[in-house]
Structures are given as structure tokens and as C-alpha cells.
Amino acid sequence: MIDFELIKKVAKEKKITLAELAKKVGYSEAGFHKAIQNKKLKTETLIKIGEALDLNLEHFIGDENAIKVARIMSITKDELGRPGGDFDAVSKFIERQDKFIEGSLTFFMKQCEEKDRQIDHLIRQLELKDGLIKSIMNYYFERGVIIDEQYKKSNNIEG
């Protein structure tokens, strides 16, 4: 999700040591190295790294869902009344929500397909009924039974 190598590379390009970057984002040097090694950084830290390196989150987070998570979690405590939370937990929550939505969409599409089949069946039944009615009317007409002229016109019955 997070491109830690890119963070290191950009810091090096900007001549910022990891020790300096750690200090700017509120970590001890050892804690920062451990967090990078374990690939576990808080969202607030990611935002601070972006600010320190003058990068948007999109530069070092390659996953679109991860960017959404980071943006969601960047909402301040003042706005929500609580801290943003754990990046990985929110990311997993969004993945579960995406799967739920995908599953719901698949279910909905299957339901629509079934309803389409039912509608097609009903249309075929109506067409058969109309054909049967026309056949019956033609049968009686050929035998001289009087049929209402309006009915003949509306159903294209000859005669």
C-alpha cells in the first residue's frame, strides 16, 4: 500500500535524513526506523511525512483505496470528536464494504435478470393469448358468426 522506498528516496533527494524526517513527524529515530521496517505508520504520520517532503499522499500511496482511507483518516479530532483511527483497520473496513457492495450489486443484477426473464415469459404468454383469440375470431367469422366490426379492425381481422 505505502511505498516506503519512495519515502526514503524522496527524503534522500531532498537531503533530509531519516533521523530528521523522524523528528519532523514526531518519532524517535529508532521508532521511525522500526515503523518503516514493519511497514506500519499512522495516518497522521503519513500526512506529516507528505508535508515534510512536500508530497501529496498520492505520491507514496499507490493504492486508490489506501488514498481514500488516508483522506478519511485525516479528518481532525475537532471535526469528528475522535481521532482518525488505525490506517490498516480503516483500510480493511473499506475493503469489506467494497466486497459487500460488489456482492449486493451482483445479487441485484441477478434479481434484475430473473425479473427480465419473467417479463419475457409474460410477453410470450400474452402474444400466444392474442394469437389464440385471433384464431378463434377468424374461425367464427369464417363460419358466418357476426363479429363486432370495431373488434375486427382493432385486431386486424380480415373480412
Domain 4-85 sits in CATH 1.10.260.40: yes
Longest dimension (CA), the chain: 105
What is the Cα–Cα distance from 57 to 52, expressed in whole angstroms? Answer: 12
pLDDT value at residue 80: 44
Q: What does the pLDDT profile of the chain (159 residues) look like in tens digits? A: 567 787 888 888 889 998 998 998 888 989 888 888 887 777 778 778 888 888 776 666 655 555 566 556 555 444 444 444 555 666 677 778 888 888 888 999 999 999 999 999 999 999 999 999 888 888 877 776 665 666 667 777 665
Q: Where are the domains of the chain?
A: 4-85, 107-154
Q: By three-state DSSP, how is residue 16 classified?
A: coil
Q: By three-state DSSP, how is residue 84 classified?
A: coil
Give the three cell numbers for residue 43.
Answer: 495516518
Record the pTM: 0.41
pLDDT value at residue 8: 83
pLDDT value at residue 111: 93
Q: Which amino acid is at 92?
A: K
